Amino acid sequence: MTTISQTAGRSLRPSSSGFFATLANAATTLFDRLERRSAVKTLNELDDRALRDIGINRSQIEDAVYGQFKTELSRYL
C-alpha cells in the first residue's frame, strides 16, 4: 500500500508571512534606510563642483538617492 505525505507538493521554503519573514523585512528596510541616509550625508558634504561632475545640484541630492530623479540621471549612465 502506498501513502502520500500531506506535505507532498508543498514548497520547502519558509512561508513569506511568518514572524521571521516580517522581522527580516523590517531589518532590510532599516538597513536600506540607514544606507540611503548615509549617501545623502556623503553627497551633502561634497562641494558644488563635485556634485556638478556627477550631474546633480544640491537641491537634487535626496531625489537622486531615493530614486525619484531617474529620467535626468539616465542620460549620464
Give the span between the Cα atoms of 56 and 69, in whole angstroms. Answer: 10
Q: What average pLDDT does range 36-59 have in this prediction?
A: 95
Percent of the chain with pLDDT over 70: 68
What's the rounded mean pLDDT across residues 16-44?
Answer: 93
Q: According to the model, what pLDDT value does residue 67 have?
A: 84
CB burial class (10 A; 0-12, 13-18, 19+) of residue 27?
exposed
12 is a domain residue: no
Domain annotation covers residue 7: no
Size of the chain in residues: 77
Residue 49 belongs to some domain of the structure: yes
Report whether pLDDT(43) > 90.
Answer: yes
Q: Between residues 71 and 61, which one has the greater pLDDT?
A: 61
Per the structure, the count of domains in the chain is: 1
Confidence band for 10, pLDDT divided at 50, 70 and 90: low
pLDDT for 28: 96
